[in-house]
Structure 1
Amino acid sequence: MKRYFLYFLIMGGMLMGSCRKTEYAAIDSPAYLRVFNNLEYSPSLDTKDVPQPFLTMLIDPVLDADGTPVSAAITGDFLDHRDPWARPYPDAASNVIWQKEYPGTKRVLAGPILNGYDLASWAQVPSGKHRVIFRTRPLSNTPYFELSKGEKGVTLVDTTLELSPKEVYTMHVLTEDYVKNNPIMYLRRETFPNQPFVDSMVYVNFYNLSSDGFFEKAPNEIVNQQLASTKLRDTMYVYGTLSRKKNGLVTPINGFNGIPMGRVIRSLDGVVTPYQRFPLFPDTSSNKIFTGNMSQAFGFYRAGFNPQNLIYPLDLPAGVYSALTMGDYDENSTTGLYPYKIKGDLRTGMIISIHSGNDNPRSFSSVNTVEYINRKFYVTTIQRTFEPPVYK
């Protein structure tokens, strides 16, 4: 369900639901913004009176004399905790109220196709200087500005930012310090639209956006009476493995088992990390149309360890090893070895495989961001443009 299908879905929904037409005001010199809520919802006796992080984002809000918002130039409401996989396309036909990101399913003026990248999951916003507030809100279906004053929550983040025209931004609400548990806004100006990436390669970069002190002070996780590999040190080294699935068996592709893919350093400074790459068609027997059912696995190793000297990475001290796998993996063979699993594209993980032209499926390269935040992995996939399907 890509950009080319969204128009038909939206039009179908409009015809079925009403004849009302949505009008969008053009934005001069826009920036492009995508927002994620990474704050945890952890109900307990200790936190029962603490405002839970169901959020509303307000850009350039108007406040009353008591500091309560009464309006805003841009509102991102019903912002819940993000999904593990941020898909490369928005579900524009959905009527869901609670959002896993902004703009999510919200009807906004979406980002364009920029240098061959589809920015339909980014919202156009005015460039320039803005005040941004994130407020808590109740878990209800009432829009923020229809809530009573007492229900409009408290401010968790109040900051200003500067957005440059035609630039692409990813924003997160994060916890800066593990002990203080203080939320902050993290803003990253993405570089992928301006980099000389080639269509024959898939790109991925890595971030550790965990709170300061998380590794040292957060409790270790025990699963089935074993220490789980769910904590990363502030510096880890990444190794990638590409595998194909054939006749129900997952087998590493020759030449792509445990290849070095740089390092990931914990940081909240908003600087884009270097992109690593792997071939769109790593299997030489591929027909160069569909790459075949496959998976990508990324192992994270403490300095001094690698896939060659850590052959069986189970029941190790915290921070020695962890891993993420995506795609058509084998559940049984990856249990324990790859504690994090995010499907992405069900057949090909980070690679997008879709009906395009006369081919069904056809595989396309993508740009991906892997973010580790306080014991959880998240992946964002950005797609290139492609030809719409041809039905015979």
Structure 2
Amino acid sequence: MSRKNINYGAWLVAFSIMIAIASCKKVEYTTINNPAYVRVFNDLNYTQNYADKLAKYPDLCMIINPVLASDGTPTGGDVIADFLDKRAPYAPPYPSHSGNSTSLQNPEYPSKANVLVGPILNGFDLSSWAQMPSGKLRFMFFYRPYNEIPFFQLDRQLQQDVLLDTTLNLDAQEVYTLHVLQRDYVTKKKGVILRKETFQKLPLADTLAYVNFYNYSSKGYWQADESQKPTGGANLLRSFKSGVKDEMNIYMSIYNGQVTPVNPTNSPVITNYDRKYIGRLIRDADGSQVNPYVSFPIWVAPKADSIKTDIWQRFDFLAPGLDIMNTPYRTVGTNVNYSTYGNYAAVNCLLNGTLTTTTLTANTYFQNATMVPNMLVNIASGTLKSKTFATINTIEVINSNVYLMTVQRKYPAPTF
């Protein structure tokens, strides 16, 4: 080997070492002492009609403990949650849209935001909750244009459109769900609900699934004229088009979808769970209390080696005095008029990826319901192709919309 080649080889080795050293940067980990865990939903609904023709699209920026210039324009803050869009109908038991980089819009916070999230606390996965400093915090919510320009790069005038400015107290190691919503449909008054969750503290059975219910609808919404409500069939609103009255009775049905999964009208209802009365739904867009949970067993199918179930859930909401066995529907020929004037609504929690809205045409009882995912989680676990896991669920009715939030309680085994 020539001297020239030796020198070149030595230079190449030295250069490689320099590159390796330069690439070994120290990772700085951010920590929060005694954090609280917070999940934020933007529950503001946007309906294009004559009554709301001047309403702004509710794309928001949340700033906690903001730093404000002399004219009130924010210049920074302890927490910046930009592009907080309207919430999605389903909040799954994992950070929603965490792998979606096609849009900056977030259906909740933290969602796909790159921030510290909660741990597994008492067996519950809190990765959908963000860590925040505990104590008294100032929350400011700003309207922002629906575009991909970061809030602090917007025109200064656009940074001064304040939706809400409030102070909230967060206790360390507690779990909170924060809702931004409309309190009054007539006055358009906005507000927040900070719900201090209790699911992580309850003694719950592994063989049961749990669900509780809230009506955070605006005051006066269900009484408003039907012309101000969203289109009945759009976004699968269906029987929730009119909203629901301020007090409703709740009935639960559990169906076995294994017999004829493509046609739910033939799915057998499980004995003692056919439109079973389970409680009342009371409208409260001002309170923050946690409503009690109702449970139902997780029956497993023998043909699935007793590790998986195909059961699915339905919940009917009826105004007091109405008979669940004769639910009121309004039909015109073969077309369904989804206006129930607040007297009735229903939600089907369907089989994951099995039942679709196109199959729900044979029976009005099923066709009229809003569709959301099954409350139970069926995923691969270890060497098992699919296994059913217990969950904690919350159904929230807000004007013409119904939302499902699911928290997973047990987790799949590693794959060997």
CA RMSD of the aligned region, Å?
2.5
Q: Structure 1 residues 27 and 106 mapped into 2: Cα distance closer, same or farther (>3 Å)?
A: same
Contact map agreement 1:31 1:127 (CA 8 A) in 2:
yes
After the TM superposition, which residues 78-157 of structure 1 pair with which residues of structure 2 at under 5 Å, given as runs? 78-90=83-95, 91-95=97-101, 96-157=103-164
Q: Deviations over 1:138-185 (max 9, x none)?
A: 111111112220222511110000000111000111001110112111
Residue 344 of structure 2 aligns to which amino acid in structure 1?
A: Y
Rounded to whole Å, the distance in 2 between the matches of 1:81 and 1:325 is 22
SS in 1 for 2:223: helix
- Is 1:368 matched up with 2:375? no
Displacement after TM superposition at 1:40 (Å): 1.9
Which range is displaced more, 209-218 or 45-54? 45-54
Contact map agreement 1:208 1:371 (CA 8 A) in 2:
yes
* TM-score under structure 2 length normalisation: 0.81
Q: Structure 1 residues 335 and 35 mapped into 2: Cα distance closer, same or farther (>3 Å)?
A: farther
Residue 78 of structure 2 aligns to which amino acid in structure 1?
A: A
Contact map agreement 1:24 1:109 (CA 8 A) in 2:
no
- Which structure has the greater CA radius of gyration? 2
Q: Deviations over 1:251-297 (max 9, x none)?
A: 122332111221110012011111011111176876430012x3211
Rounded to whole Å, the distance in 2 between the matches of 1:92 and 1:360 is 24
Q: Structure 1 residues 135 and 24 mapped into 2: Cα distance closer, same or farther (>3 Å)?
A: farther
Q: Structure 1 residues 390 and 313 mapped into 2: Cα distance closer, same or farther (>3 Å)?
A: same
Contact map agreement 1:138 1:153 (CA 8 A) in 2:
no
Rounded to whole Å, the distance in 1 between the matches of 2:195 and 2:296 is 24
Contact map agreement 1:84 1:342 (CA 8 A) in 2:
no
Contact map agreement 2:69 2:75 (CA 8 A) in 1:
yes
After the TM superposition, which residues 305-344 of structure 1 pair with which residues of structure 2 at under 5 Å, given as runs? 305-308=322-325, 310=326, 313-314=329-330, 318-328=341-351, 329=355, 330-333=359-362, 335=364, 337=366, 339-344=368-373
Residue 277 of structure 1 aligns to which amino acid in structure 2?
A: S
SS in 1 for 2:38: strand
Rounded to whole Å, the distance in 2 between the matches of 1:58 and 1:265 is 31
Q: Deviations over 1:37-78 (max 9, x none)?
A: 111223456655544311000100011111111101101110
Displacement after TM superposition at 1:341 (Å): 2.9
1:193 — aligned with what? 200
- Is 1:37 matched up with 2:42? yes
1:208 — aligned with what? 215
Rounded to whole Å, the distance in 2 between the matches of 1:195 and 1:88 is 18
SS in 1 for 2:67: strand
Displacement after TM superposition at 1:237 (Å): 0.7
Gaps of 5+ in 2: 1-22, 332-338
Contact map agreement 1:92 1:107 (CA 8 A) in 2:
no
Q: Structure 1 residues 103 and 19 mapped into 2: Cα distance closer, same or farther (>3 Å)?
A: farther
Displacement after TM superposition at 1:359 (Å): 1.5
Q: Structure 1 residues 322 and 45 mapped into 2: Cα distance closer, same or farther (>3 Å)?
A: closer
Higher percent of residues as helix: 2
Q: What is the aligned length?
A: 366
Residue 263 of structure 1 aligns to which amino acid in structure 2?
A: R
Rounded to whole Å, the distance in 2 between the matches of 1:179 and 1:21 is 55
Rounded to whole Å, the distance in 2 between the matches of 1:314 and 1:116 is 45
- Is 1:26 matched up with 2:40? no
Which range is displaced more, 249-258 or 55-64? 249-258
2:60 — aligned with what? 55
Displacement after TM superposition at 1:385 (Å): 3.3
Q: Structure 1 residues 50 and 376 mapped into 2: Cα distance closer, same or farther (>3 Å)?
A: closer
Q: Deviations over 1:113-142 (max 9, x none)?
A: 011110110000010000000000111111
Contact map agreement 1:324 1:338 (CA 8 A) in 2:
no
Contact map agreement 1:168 1:189 (CA 8 A) in 2:
yes
Which of the numbers 307, 311, 320 marks the counterpart of 1:303? 320
Which of the numbers 268, 271, 274 marks the counterpart of 1:257? 274
1:174 — aligned with what? 181
Q: Deviations over 1:317-349 (max 9, x none)?
A: 5232210001134422465645343332xxxx0
Contact map agreement 2:240 2:401 (CA 8 A) in 1:
no
Rounded to whole Å, the distance in 2 between the matches of 1:311 and 1:179 is 30
Contact map agreement 1:314 1:337 (CA 8 A) in 2:
no
